[in-house]
Structure 1
Amino acid sequence: MPRFYCPAPLATGAVLDLPAGPARHVQVLRMQPGQSITLFNGQGGEFEAVIDRMGRSDVTVTVASHDPVEREAARAVHLVLGMPANERMDWLVEKAAELGVASIQPLVTERSVLRLNGERADKKRAHWHAVGVAACEQSGRNRVPDVFPVRSFADWVASAPAESALLLSLRSGSRPLLAAAPASGPLHFLSGPEGGLSPAEEDAAIARGFRPVTLANRVLRAETAPLVALAQLQF
């Protein structure tokens, strides 16, 4: 059954017009009145809904039964990322959402190729949110991960979380990820862009309380390493 994110109040028996995105998707699928879809709004569980009417660009449904099913990971992992360039960030957001990430904080760092601010940063954030929504629709998640506004590393680190925080690093003395991570509870994981964080940025994160960790004896790409860490921490 097709699944759609519907950021609106949902209740059994309610009749509503689908938002533009899901309505367009239902039209593309050539669905017909009487057919069922699944809706979720990020507030928990999901609803079956029945299509009542198909207009030229609008779709009306009646919300039916609620299923309280949850498919979230056992622990909340928050990724803090020096943004990789071009389509790599899109790919990273998509796969992180599929893997169950709780939130994503994009950062502009010293070595960042992708540098965003102002209206361009706002548009990118909206785009990444949409990428995360699509990944949740496909993967069965009922809660959409937060994508926070783009920040500079210097601005972010001043108020960075000090507990349960890990830093991906190649510096000597970094511990294996699973040996350093607490067994349970929320976790923040910081990873750099292409070329990694600068030594000064790593020093600032460590001073804030982040513990340096490593994944293996290979150097992974900026868009690959956070996903490997997320998979290890989740599963």
Structure 2
Amino acid sequence: MPGPRVYSEHPLSIAHEFPLDDQAAIHLIRVLRLTEGDPIRVFNGDGHEYNATLCQVSKKSAHFHVSAIERSDALMPLSLHLGQVVSKGDRMDFTIQKATELGVSDITPLWSERCDVRLKGERLDKKVEHWQRVAIAACEQSGRNRIPTIHEPLNLSQWLATVDCEKKLLLHPHNQQPLTADKAPSSTALLVGPEGGFSDDEVALSAKNGFDGLLLGPRILRTETAALTAISVLQYVWGDFR
């Protein structure tokens, strides 16, 4: 497979030249020691991976010339929207990274009653930008050419009232049912709570908004384990793991 794979924010087209962003250029030039004419692979989230060659290489910058589309991602049979209550430390980064690798299409960070993380204003804006970069890096590593959307964080009640999916599932330790191999839905919303779980009122509100409990075995899973386990199961039964 020719050359390392990098992300570009530009709308790419064949037979045109584009600048690399500074971080990618420095990595390719200083770390990987690439020079002018070396092949690379580029994606921008439009579903394609492009063949390209480096050009106009200097100590801190470089351009690339697009030569062809190498491959394209098929549309996923199951659109997965993860509603994840924001978790502490690097757990949220981990969840976003792995959920991206597993094929989710949308991620909405949520605030709930027992959420221990509170961010506002500029700190929140920077965190959302950081989460989007985590998703891009996961696509870069995994070979995925469609980047999931990281939505603006919402209160749980707002998301429950507005999320529009054919199937809606809630991870909660009580009143759950195993997943059945029914006719595959085209879209699924998956709701995952914080370390302390959802309150009874939040569970009731979820049910009122059409969410069914999903059973993932006899053990209570950590928030990041629960999300990734459920995504894997859904992809196996209804998605592109089949």
> Do they superpose with TM above 0.5?
yes
| Contact 1:194 1:222 (C-alpha < 8 Å) held by counterparts | yes
Task: Name the count of aligned residue pairs.
Answer: 233
Distance in 2, Cα, partners of 1:202 & 1:187: 18
Percent identity, aligned pairs only, is 38
| Contact 1:15 1:60 (C-alpha < 8 Å) held by counterparts | yes
Give the CA deviation at 1:73. Answer: 4.2
| Contact 2:86 2:109 (C-alpha < 8 Å) held by counterparts | yes
Q: Which residue of 2 aligns with 1:218?
A: 219
| Contact 1:71 1:140 (C-alpha < 8 Å) held by counterparts | no
Does the C-alpha gap of structure 1 residues 112 and 182 become closer, same or farther in structure 2, counting only changes over 3 Å?
Answer: farther
Distance in 1, Cα, partners of 2:202 & 2:85: 11
Aligned positions of 1:74-113 closer than 5 A: 74-113=77-116
Distance in 1, Cα, partners of 2:165 & 2:235: 21
Aligned positions of 1:145-184 closer than 5 A: 145-161=148-164, 163-172=166-175, 174-176=176-178, 178-179=179-180, 183-184=184-185
RMSD: 1.6
Output one character per residue of 1:38-80: Cα deviation in whole Å (capped at 9) or x when no partner: 1111112111110112122211111111134216643111100
Give the CA deviation at 1:181. Answer: 6.7
| Contact 1:78 1:103 (C-alpha < 8 Å) held by counterparts | yes
Give the CA deviation at 1:162. Answer: 6.1
| Contact 2:192 2:223 (C-alpha < 8 Å) held by counterparts | yes
Please give the TM-score of this superposition, normalised by the length of structure 2: 0.91
More divergent stretch after superposition (98-107 vs 153-162): 153-162
Where structure 2 has 5 or more consecutive residues not aligned to the other structure, the ranges are 237-242
Output one character per residue of 1:12-41: Cα deviation in whole Å (capped at 9) or x when no partner: 110111122322221232211111111111
Q: Which residue of 2 aligns with 1:231?
A: 232
